[in-house]
Amino acid sequence: MAESFALTEATYYILLSLVRPRHGYGIMQLTEELSGGRVHLAAGTLYGALNALSTKGWIIQLPAEDESRRKEYSLTEKGFQVLVNEVARLRELADNGERILREG
């Protein structure tokens, strides 16, 4: 049986933004854009989350280009599966809510 748990909104958007490799600033920008400005990640919060996600094996830091200070990150296969599971969980929540509201 698949591991089941709810992601925080910030973690969800960080993982979603890493479907394609991105650097930290790109993650912050896309997260804010996708959330309609609701989720704003400060640098310290983002890099703490990236370290935690890396420790869980959900993301990896890509090798840096020569002399570049920019760190890029990408989802691992495990991180991609966590994201797929979360999308399914959120879809179920929304579907149940819509169904109950229609019946009500």
Whether residue 35 is contained in a domain is answered as yes
Determine the Cα–Cα distance for residues 98 and 4; give it in Å rounded to an integer: 22
CATH assignment of the domain containing 44: 1.10.10.10
Structurally, the chain folds into a number of domains equal to 1
- Single pTM value for the model: 0.89
pLDDT of residue 1: 40
pLDDT per residue, tens digit, the chain (104 aa), is 455 689 999 999 999 999 999 999 999 999 999 999 999 999 999 999 999 999 999 999 998 876 777 889 999 999 999 999 999 999 999 999 999 999 98
Asked whether the beta carbons of 50 and 63 are under 8 A apart, the reply is: no
Report DSSP state, residue 63.
P
Determine the Cα–Cα distance for residues 61 and 23; give it in Å rounded to an integer: 9
Whether residue 53 is contained in a domain is answered as yes
pLDDT of residue 2: 52
Whether residue 39 is contained in a domain is answered as yes
